[in-house]
Amino acid sequence: MSSPGRARRRTGKEPAGPPQSRRRPTSTSSFGVGRRESHDASSFYARFSAPQVSDDDTVFRSPIEGKIVAGDARHMNEVEDASVALVVTSPPYFAGKDYEAALGQGHVPASYLEYLAMLRDVFAECVRTLEPGGRLSVNVANLGRKPYRSLSGDVAGILQDDLGLLLRGEVIWVKARGAAGSCAWGSFCSPANPVLRDLTERVVIASKGRFDRAVPAARRRSLGLPAGVSVTKDEFMEATTDVWEIPAERATRVGHPAPFPVELPQRLIELYTYEDDLVLDPFIGSGTTAVAAVRAGRRYVGYDTESRYVRIAERRAEEERSRVLRAGERAVPRRAGARDLAHALLSEAGFRDLDADVRLEAGVEVALAGHDAGGRRWFFDVSGSLGSLPGGLRRGEVLWSALGRAAVVHASYPENPLVLLTTEAPAPGSAGERAWRALQVPDGPGGLPAVYDVIEIESDQALSRLRTMARSGRRSRAR
């Protein structure tokens, strides 16, 4: 037996080369762990009752293409069992909105407990329509201040405890920053009774019976089920965080007192569904979920008890369908990724021998590389999304990452221009614009800058500026 602290004697049978260090697996402790690789969390999950997971993989392909019903979502007879991939909804607020002025009349509950009972009945009907592994996502605003009521907590309890769904997480939707948001201050600048102002809402997410979607993608294709993926890498990385910053929608813009922005359901749709999947909204209101589904290339079905909102929703969905059809006439559809559009623009501009995802010797990767008419090789970094993730270089973390790559590329390839192609450039006069402009200074007479130019790929000038670069090389840089 070896002594503690003494190195093990070599036998001569060990593999040649330096000893290989192995990362020790971690396990749950009183203080948690920093790493997740090879982490054994069994002791943590042993503290809870085991979830009921099903191996059911029955999926029905509904013939519904796009349908909005004026009716009660507690009885969705038009929707078949196991035919819906995702439920996205924002239930009507319990009180305080114009369309619920008559509490206790008709379909509007008179008390909070009745409201929760109504939600439970609707969600139970949603569970019936969900395919195994399908997700249910509920956007809610927490209520009140005297006292505060966690509606998101009550919804989570309904989904998990009453309906047996598997909770998957909760997203904090940040609608505003700083001094924006609710104006209820309570005791202003006094500890007597300060009030927390509402800047966020919650999105509670659960799945039916299993953690993964039923039927793998390859088998889905053979069965004629939806299997195409449309989410981009940038969208996926952003959507899998639990804090989403998306500006709120104005009620007057869509003719509904409590709309949520298209980007919110679209992000959920892109993350959790395949192309042509069926999306359900049992409280469809002004039709925002239908608009998001059309924009993302999915089918939709929705319900609302108010006929006037059904008409608004149908009109908005049809307008979006017409817009998408018009966009489909272009060389690059709107649903294509930013890299697809960038590649098409560079090709049309005259750049030759275009390569994608080019790994450079410097250890970094550029999205695209190509040659101009004179044979000079250009590098192109592409950021942003044409889908549910706005921002591009206007997002601080994306900008600094792009500038860091630009500096590394320029240090290794000083004779090759690098252009940053983006969906949104840093705002004029912002710190971001000053930062990239600082890297636009050439390295002495005749030298190139680290960032040759920044171009918004959806701007009217993008193609003409790229054509000038492709024809004239480095002398074409726009100021």
What is the distance of C-alpha 349 from the center of its chain? 31
Q: Please report which helix (H) or strand (E) contains residue 377, including its range.
A: strand 377-383
User: What single-letter amino acid sits at 308?
Assistant: R
User: What single-letter amino acid sits at 234?
Assistant: D
What DSSP line would sit under 214-255, residue for residue? Answer: SS-HHHHHHHT--------HHHHHHHTSSEEE-PPPPHHHHT
- For 456, the token pair is 């918004």
d(C-alpha 328, C-alpha 35), whole Å: 45
- For 217, the token pair is 């993608």
Q: Give pLDDT tens digits along the chain (479 positions).
A: 444 444 444 444 444 555 555 556 666 655 555 555 566 777 777 777 777 898 999 999 999 999 999 999 999 999 999 999 999 999 987 654 444 444 445 556 778 899 999 999 999 999 999 999 999 999 999 887 778 889 999 999 999 999 999 999 999 999 866 545 455 667 788 898 888 888 899 999 999 999 999 999 999 999 999 999 988 777 888 899 999 988 787 654 555 555 688 999 999 999 999 999 999 999 999 999 999 999 999 999 999 999 999 999 999 999 999 987 875 544 444 445 688 889 999 999 999 999 999 999 888 999 999 999 999 999 999 987 766 565 688 888 889 999 999 999 999 999 999 999 998 898 888 888 999 999 988 877 778 999 999 999 988 899 999 999 999 755 444 44
d(C-alpha 255, C-alpha 99), whole Å: 12
Instruction: Tell me the domains of the chain and their CATH numbers.
Output: 66-327 (3.40.50.150), 338-476 (3.40.1350.10)
Q: Are 320 and 287 in contact (CB under 8 A)?
A: no
d(C-alpha 178, C-alpha 70), whole Å: 40
User: What single-letter amino acid sits at 191?
Assistant: P
